[in-house]
A and B are shown apart, each in its own frame.
Chain A
Amino acid sequence: MTVRRPAVWAMLAVLALAAATVCALAPDVPALRLPAALALALWLPGHALVELLGLAGRDRVRTLTLALGASLAIALIVAVELAAFGVLAAETWAATTAAACFAASLAVSHRHAALGPATRVAPGPPRPRHLALAALAVTAVAAVGTAVVLARTPLPVPDDRGYTVLAVAPTASGSGAVTVRATSEEATSRSYVMRVSFGGRVAEERALTLEPGETSEQRVSVPPDAAGPLVVSLLDTARIPPVPYRSVRVADPRRIEVVS
C-alpha cells in the first residue's frame, strides 16, 4: 500500500478526537475505552509531537521509540497538571491529551503545506507468510497463556494456614452496644463457645459454629451498670477443657468510640 506522509496529520487528529470521544462518552464500553485510552497514553500525542518536530524519519524503530516516550511524558504531564488543579477525570484527561495531539497535528499540516507536494513512500517488500511462523506464535501464546492460568490459580496450603478473626467495634456512637464479628477463613467447620463478660463476670455464653468463609455478627448491649472491661472470647471446643482461641476487650464499654 502506498502511504502519503502528509496525511499523517489528519489521521492523528481524527484518531485523537475519536479516542477522546470514546473515553469521555462511552464509559460503559470497556472494549472501546481500553484501546482508546491506551492510544492516548502511549502513541497519539507523542507521534504528533515527533511529526511536528520533524523527528519522524524512515527509521520506524526510532519513530516508535520517540512516539512512545513522548506520549508517556505528555500524558504524565497532563495528568499531573490536572490533578494539581483537582480536575483529573476521564473527560478532562482525554480531552486535554487529545487537544495537545490535535494542535500538534494542525501544526504538522502547516509544516507539510510549506514543504510542497506530498512525497510518496514506497511500500516495503511483501512479507512472507509462513505456516511455521503461525505455529511458533501459537506456541508462544499457549505457553504464556498457560503461565498466566498457572500463576493465577490459588494453590493449596496446609489447613493450619487458615485463621479466624474476632473483632469488636461500636454499633453506633452512644448506642450502648458493640458489634462483635467472628469470621472464619479456616479449612473446615469450627465450633467455639463465645463468652461475653463484664468486669470478669460472665454475662453470656453461647455455642458458635463457623463454616469456612462464614461471618457471625453479634450485637452486645452494654448494661448501664456494667463495671470493668468487656471481654469477648472464642473458646476452642476442640480442646478439653476449651481454651481461649481469640479474644477482644474494650476497656470502658460505655465509652467505646472510633477515634479518627
Chain B
Amino acid sequence: MAALLAVGAVGVLLMTAGNALARSGEAGDDLLFWLGFLLIVVPPAVAIVGPRPSRGARVTLLVGVGFLLYLTKVLHDPFAFTFSDELLHLSNTEQILREGALFPENPILPVSVYYPGLASLTAALSIATGLGAFPAGLIVIGAARTLLMLSLFLLFERLTGSARLASVAGFVYIASPNFLFWTAQFSYQSLALPLAGVAALAVVMRGLERDQNDRQGWTVLFMVLALAVVMTHHLTGYALVATLVAVSLAALAGFGRAREAAWALALFTAVAAAVWLFQVAPIAGDYLGTIFGRSFGGVADTVAGTSEARRPFRSSEGEVAPLWERVTGYVSVLLLALALPMGLFRILRRRRRSAFLVVAGAAGAAFMAILPLRLVPSAWETANRASDFLFVGIGLGIALAALHLGRDGRATAPRRAAAAVFIAVVTIGGALVGWPPSARLSQPYEVRIGDRSVQPPGVALAHWSRRELGPGNGYVADESNGRMLLAYGQQRPFTGRDGLARYALESTAVTPELRAALRENGVAYAAVDRRRVSRDALQGIFFARPGQPLQGRDGYLPPERTGTLDRPDTDRLFDSGDVVVYGVAGLYR
C-alpha cells in the first residue's frame, strides 16, 4: 500500500512536470501529464480489485488517490486561484474578510453570495490561522476532498456490506467527468457535495439501526449536516431532498427495509431549503429557473431541428480534440454503458437489502439516460453538473458488475490487466470529457521575463483599479478581466456575453440606449481587451504559451470591435497594449 502511494507521489511529480512543459511550450507535456495520472490511479485500482488488501488498506488507497489527484489540481495553479468560478468565490471570501458581514455584492454570479457556507468557513479559517484566503481555501477544499472519499467508501460499504466492493466503487467514482478539476476547485459545490455525502451516510446508517437512541443520534447528525449543505449550495441541497424522497418512496414500494423511509428528514431538509430560498436567497429561483428553462428550451429546439446540436470534443471556437482523446472519451462511455446493465441487474437482485441501493442504481441509469443532453448546447452544463450526483450510481453498478465477473475471488494476471485497462480508460475518459483540452494543462500565470517574475496584465489592471480608482466602481469587462477586477480589484464588474458588458463592448456605435444602460447600471469604466481569448474565462487571464502568438490562441478582435469607446467624450485612462480602460461617465453626463 505504501509503495502504491509512493508511486502515486511520483505520478504527481510527472503531472507537474507535464504542466511545466506546457507552460514552457515544450513538447511531451500531454504524455507526462497522462503518464502521471495513470501512475496515481491505475496501480492502486488494480490492487483493490483483488481480494487481499485489508479494509484499512482499501480506505487508505482510496483517500490517498483522491488526495493526490487534488494535489495535482493545486499544483496546476500554485500561485493563485485561476479557475473562473474560483475567482468569484474568492471575491465573496475577501469581502467577508474585509467587511465582516454576509451577502457582499457579486455582479458576475449574484446567487453565490446568498450561499455563504464556503466563503464564511474559509474566511473564519483565514482569520483564525492568519493565512490568506488562498491557502485557507486550499485547506478547506482539501479537507472536503478527503471527506468525499471517506464518505463514499463508507456509504458504498454500508450499502453492499463489502469493503472490497466499496473501494472498487470509489475508484470508479474517480472516473466522474468533474472529479479531476471541477469538484477540486474552490467553489461552493466542492464543499457541499462531501457534506451531502456524509448526510447520505447518516441516512443509510439510520435506516440500518433498530435502536431508537441510535436512530436519534443519526437524525441529529443528519440535521447538522443538512443545514450546512443548505447554507452552502442550492443544487446540492435540492439533490439531497430529492434523494431522501426517492429513498422513502422506494422503501414505501417495498424495496429495502420499511424503516429506511426518511420522510421526516426529507421534510426537514425541504423546509430548510425552502426557508433559505424564500427568506435569504430568492434570487436562486430565478437563477436556476433560467438555467433549467434554457436547457429545456434547448432540448426542444434541438429535437425540432431548429437549433444545431453540440459536437462533442469540439470547443465553441471550433477547436477539435485530438483523435486519441475522442476515441478514449467515446470508449470510456461505451465501457460504462456495457458494464452498467449487469450492475443494475445485481442491484435489482439485492433490492431487498436497501432502498438506498435501488435509488443509487436508478441514479446510475439516469446518468446514462441524460448523456444525450451533452449534445444540446444549452443543456450540456446541466448534464455535466448532474454527473457529480448520478455517478454514485455508476460507481456502485460498475463495482457490482466487476466483482460479479470475478466472483471466484482469483486475481489472475489477465483479470488484473483487464481491470487496469478498464480503470485507465474510464478515468482518463472522464477527465477528458470534463474539462476543455486547452485548459487541462497549466498556463503561464507567474512567469519569468528577463530576470523578474511577472504576472499578467489583468492582474496589473486589477491592482491599478483598486489603487487609483478605489473600490466599488461599476465596470464593464470581458469574462477574464472582469473576474480579475472583481477578485483583486474590488470593483463591480459586469461581464457576460448576453448582458450589459456585451452590449457596451461589442456595439459598433454609442447609441442613446447604450448611454442609458450605462447610466442606469452606474458603469463608470470599461475595460476593452483586444484579445479574443479574453472572453474565455478559463484561459483569458494567462499569458500566451510560448509557441503561441503573442495575442493568444484566437488572435485579435478587429479594430472596429474595440474602438467604439475611443471617443472624444471618454477618457482613456489605462493602456497596457492589449487592455485599455476607458472612463465612460462622460457618455451619459
Contacts and interface: CB of A to CB of B under 8 A. Distances in A.
Interface stretch (A4-12, A162-170, A218-226): A162-170
Interface string B351-382: 00000000000000000000000000000000
A176 interface: no
Interface stretch (B126-134, B245-253, B284-292, B493-501): B126-134
Contact of B460 (A36, A150, A185): A185
Given A84-B102, A87-B100, A139-B6, A147 B129 contact: no
Given A41-B125, A89-B100, A260-B470, A251 B120 contact: no
A228 B32 CA distance: 59
A152 B9 CA distance: 17
Contact of B449 (A27, A38, A62, A159): A159
B102 A72 contact: no
Interface in B82-109: 96, 100-102
A87 B100 CA distance: 6
A70 B451 contact: no
B338 interface: no
A250 B571 contact: yes
Nearest to A244: B575
Nearest to A160: B550
Residue from B195, B583, B586 having most chain A Cβ neighbours under 10 A: B583
A187 interface: yes
A69 B56 CA distance: 19
Interface in B101-148: 101-102, 116-117, 120-121, 123-125, 127-131, 139-140, 143-144, 146-147
Residue from A30, A84, A166, A259 having most chain B Cβ neighbours under 10 A: A259
Contacts of A256: 571
B221 A50 contact: yes
A79 B227 CA distance: 13
A73 interface: yes
- The size bracket of the interface on A is 35 or more
Given A65-B151, A76-B232, A165-B574, A88 B121 contact: no
Contacts of B197: 69
B373 to A, nearest CB: 31
Contacts of B55: 61
Contacts of B550: 160-161
B154 A49 contact: no
Contacts of B35: none
A185 B578 CA distance: 14
B306 interface: no
B232 A139 contact: no
A212 B448 CA distance: 12
A83 B98 CA distance: 11
B224 A77 contact: yes
Given A73-B225, A74-B224, A90 B3 contact: no
Contact of B130 (A27, A61, A168, A259): A27
B208 interface: no
Given A65-B198, A155-B20, A76 B231 contact: yes
B490 to A, nearest CB: 11
B3 A136 contact: yes
Given A64-B150, A150-B16, A169-B468, A161 B6 contact: no
Contacts of A242: none
B454 A162 contact: yes
A144 interface: yes
A214 to B, nearest CB: 11
Nearest to B122: A79
A249 interface: yes
Interface string A6-23: 000000000000000001
A188 interface: yes
Contacts of A94: 128
B258 interface: no
A161 to B, nearest CB: 5
Residue from B195, B444, B573 having most chain A Cβ neighbours under 10 A: B573
Contact of B569 (A69, A139, A245, A251): A251
Interface string B217-243: 110110011011001100000000000
Nearest to A86: B101
Interface in B39-85: 55-56, 59, 71, 75-76, 78-79
A88 B103 CA distance: 13
Interface string A36-78: 1110111000000110011100000110111011101111111
B452 A213 contact: yes
B139 A148 contact: no
B139 to A, nearest CB: 7
A163 B524 CA distance: 25
Contacts of A153: 20
Contacts of B218: 53, 55
Given A70-B221, A137-B2, A157-B546, A212 B464 contact: no
B557 interface: no
A33 B78 CA distance: 23
Contact of A260 (B127, B444, B473, B544): B473
B572 interface: yes
Interface of A: 23, 27, 30, 33-34, 36-38, 40-42, 49-50, 53-55, 61-62, 64-66, 68-70, 72-80, 82-84, 86-90, 93-94, 132-133, 136-137, 139-141, 143-144, 146-148, 150-169, 183, 185-188, 212-213, 229, 245-252, 256, 258-260
Interface of B: 2-3, 5-6, 8-10, 12-13, 15-17, 19-20, 23-25, 55-56, 59, 71, 75-76, 78-79, 96, 100-102, 116-117, 120-121, 123-125, 127-131, 139-140, 143-144, 146-147, 150-151, 153-154, 191, 194-195, 197-198, 201, 205, 213-214, 216-218, 220-221, 224-225, 227-228, 231-232, 442, 444, 446-454, 457, 460, 464, 468-470, 472-473, 524-525, 543-546, 550, 568-578, 581, 583, 585-586
23 contacts: A27-B130, A33-B128, A37-B128, A53-B217, A68-B146, A69-B194, A69-B195, A70-B224, A73-B227, A74-B224, A75-B125, A77-B228, A83-B101, A147-B13, A147-B16, A148-B78, A154-B447, A155-B20, A162-B454, A167-B574, A183-B460, A185-B460, A251-B586
